[in-house]
Amino acid sequence: MENIKQHITNLRNELREHNYNYYVLDTPTISDYDFDVKLKALQELEDKHPEFYDANSPTQRVGGAVTKNFETVKHEYRMYSLDNSYSKDDLLDWEKRIKKMVDGDVAYTCELKYDGASISLTYENGQLVKAVTRGDGFQGDDVTANIKTIKSVPLQLKGDYPPKFDIRGEIILPFDGFNKMNEERLANGEELYRNPRNTASGSLKLQDSAEVAKRPLECLLYNLTGTNLGVTTQFESLEKARSWGFKVPDAAVLATSVDDVVAFVNHWDTKRHELPYETDGIVIKVNNLQQQEELGYTAKAPRWAMAYKFKAEQVTTVLNEITYQVGRTGAITPVANLEPVELAGTTVKRASIHNADQIEKLDIRERDTVFVEKGGEIIPKIIGVDVAKRPANSQPTVYISHCPECETELVRTAGDAKHYCPNYNGCKPQIIGRIQHYISRKAMDIEGLGGETVALLVNEGLISNYSDLYELTKAQVIPLERMAEKSADNLINGIKASVAIPFERVLYAIGIRYVGETVAKKLAKHYKSIHNLMEASQEDLEQVDEIGVKIAESVTQFFASEENIVTINRLLEFGVQLSISEEDLKGQTDLLKGQSIVVSGVFEHVSRTELKKLIEDNGGKVSSSISSKTNFVVAGDKMGPSKKDKAERLGVALISEIEFLQKINHTF
């Protein structure tokens, strides 16, 4: 029996190596026939000896597992978006911001930006244990069974890999494979796939993994995530990942200046057309991982990375009609309805015009031939008009004066780019939009309730604001279109479960204008409860860190509305969390209230992230750069000399990690 086990192990190792040589290195060392013979032999041995089953055996790549519902999984480390740049000036501005925040020379790793479906792979003890889509960055879908069928994804690593880590990358469909798939569909009289990116993305959610196995997908990896990974730079992490068996493209280079970065961009802006797969730009990352940690993140993106997008593709088409949409805040957005046109791999029928000023500035009119491009390769927008092709009877566009939904006269305040419908409680798109925002993932995340169902509930007269959700019954929702008994149960249970969502997310969910996720966190932390926030004056609000006049005005206006107060009181009655819980208040003090603190260097007892949280939990503000307003610097090992010099020059105290932890009475 031991001989059989050893024979199975040897076959698995041999097939993994052949697989790596073929799909990662592109240097096959065995014929396809011989590979298939060995694979079949392994399959027969495994069938006879199920006691030696291995979920990561090469035989598992053929698929066969069927997933009816993909489980939603929270990312252990958030998958952030990237900020975009479009010129050398953008990159120079970014570099200036970086150099204000970190010490010493800054080098950059430049990589191609692959246009596919983002994926996060988790490895433990060298084995693939989980593959999760990006989703909203906080959570995604578990697609492990499908990812295992992709030959360039290693199921078992080799070398000196860490015990546990995540690695991020893109699932892509090379042009050759995409074209072959379409040739087959054409021969079968089936509708052709639109583009490689969407086809790759759609493949990840196929229910039958055997179908995914038939598609020539590849996985290109580019970012290690975790702790104690044994690397100090981004460039080194790419080399390490490659040595562990991952397919890491070798186009990446180290750059020591923005000029080097621009040279890399210019090279690939032309050469990208020779690549075997789609790419839409370059990603530039600060190379030093300690500097990355010092730079940290904004609410949406890492400060240490920037995407440089290649010049957007541009086409011309006819603008048939301008219509107007009403958003949840009452903002009116004009929309260009276009003659359908192919743009960057998709059919474009609508484009954004932003506001009345843009219509006037570009003199956009119905029946004009317009130039359309994808802003950041995502949202189509009109960038100009071909006046030479304008019809003789053309008339200038007159912007609407009344709401297209409720006929209320629009308002536009001084300094505001948009027109607004002031009918807050009577304009249906606003009502629906506010409730859709309330139930969204980053807000109340109500499972079983989607945007279409919200619209249905409002149109049927069952709800008129988000507090009405908590009075819905199963008997009321079952008669709705496409609502079965199980989905009705899920909806009601999802609403009930939402009362446990913490205060900061509820504050974001209620939809105060200008109060996004980050502002909601700051206000929740400062005021502790909705009652305290409701009683705050505009002057009081403006004293809160990073709360300006516009936000303060918006908050006071929201709570000046009697209807809003009624809604908030109803939420309180239903048990929604409108104050910070006792559990969350544990460990929070005012010991550092009003103090601005900079964190710099490497720490031994707590991580930099924990250190920043401790500062905020004790009422302090974490600042990225030293100034005369800085109260003190928590100085770790390898603190940069220029920061140290600046602190001494300004008379700012430097304290050690241990001194800081003692200062806030933290045990370690």
Give the pLDDT confidence score for residue 61 in this predicted structure. 67
506 vs 136, 232, 463, CA distance in Å?
18, 39, 19
The predicted structure's pLDDT at residue 220: 95
Contact 306, 94 (CB under 8 A): yes
- Would you tell me how many other CB atoms lie within 10 Å of the CB of residue 52? 16
Quote the CA–CA distance of 23 and 16 in Å, as a whole number. Answer: 10
Mean pLDDT per segment of 10 residues, for the chain of length 668 residues?
75 74 70 72 75 73 69 91 88 92 91 93 96 91 93 92 96 92 85 84 89 92 92 96 95 94 92 88 94 86 92 88 93 94 82 90 95 72 92 94 96 88 93 95 89 93 95 92 87 95 95 91 91 94 87 95 95 95 75 88 85 87 86 87 86 91 82
CA dist., res. 599 & res. 657, Å (int): 9
Residue 668 has a pLDDT of: 65
Whole-number Å distance between alpha carbons of 451 and 337: 23
* pLDDT number for residue 519: 92
SS (H, E, C) 183-219: HHHHHCCCCCCCCHHHHHHHHCCCCEHHHHHCCCCEE
Query: Distance from first CA to last CA of the chain, Å, rounded?
Result: 51
Domains and CATH numbers, the chain: 2-62 (1.10.287.610), 84-300 (3.30.470.30), 312-421 (2.40.50.140), 428-500 (1.10.150.20), 503-585 (1.10.150.20), 596-663 (3.40.50.10190)
C-alpha triplet 204, 209, 214: angle, nearest 5°:
90
Q: Tell me, what DSSP letter sits at residue 470?
A: G
Q: Could you tell me the strand order of the sheet in which 108-114 lies?
A: 84-85, 305-309, 279-286, 108-114, 253-255
Long-range residue pairs from 468-473, CB within 8 A, at least 24 positions apart, any chain: 469/435, 469/438, 469/439, 469/495, 470/495, 470/499, 470/570, 470/571, 470/574, 470/576
Structure tokens at 138: 């906080």
Confirm if 494 and 469 have CB atoms less than 8 A apart.
no
Burial class of residue 74, CB neighbours in 10 A (0-12, 13-18, 19+)? exposed
What is the strand order of the sheet 164-172 is part of?
127-133, 117-124, 164-172, 218-225
Contacts of residue 207, defined as CB under 8 A and 6 or more positions apart, other chains included, come to: 66, 67, 68
DSSP string, 600-641: ESB-SSS-HHHHHHHHHHTT-EEESS--TT--EEEE-BT--H
Instruction: Return the SS3 of 97.
Output: helix
528 neighbors 507 (Cβ within 8 angstroms)? no
Length of the chain: 668
What pLDDT, on a 0 to 100 scale, did the predictor assign at position 24?
Answer: 66
pLDDT of residue 377: 47
C-alpha gyration radius of the chain = 28
Which pLDDT score is estimated for 401?
A: 96
pLDDT at 104: 82
Catalytic residues: 113
Alpha carbons within 13 angstroms on the beta-carbon side of residue 444 total: 32
Max intra-chain CA distance, the chain = 89
- The beta strand positions in 233-365, using DSSP E, are 253-255, 279-286, 305-309, 314-326, 332-343, 346-352
Give the orientation angle of helix 451-459 with respect to helix 428-439, to 10 degrees. Answer: 140
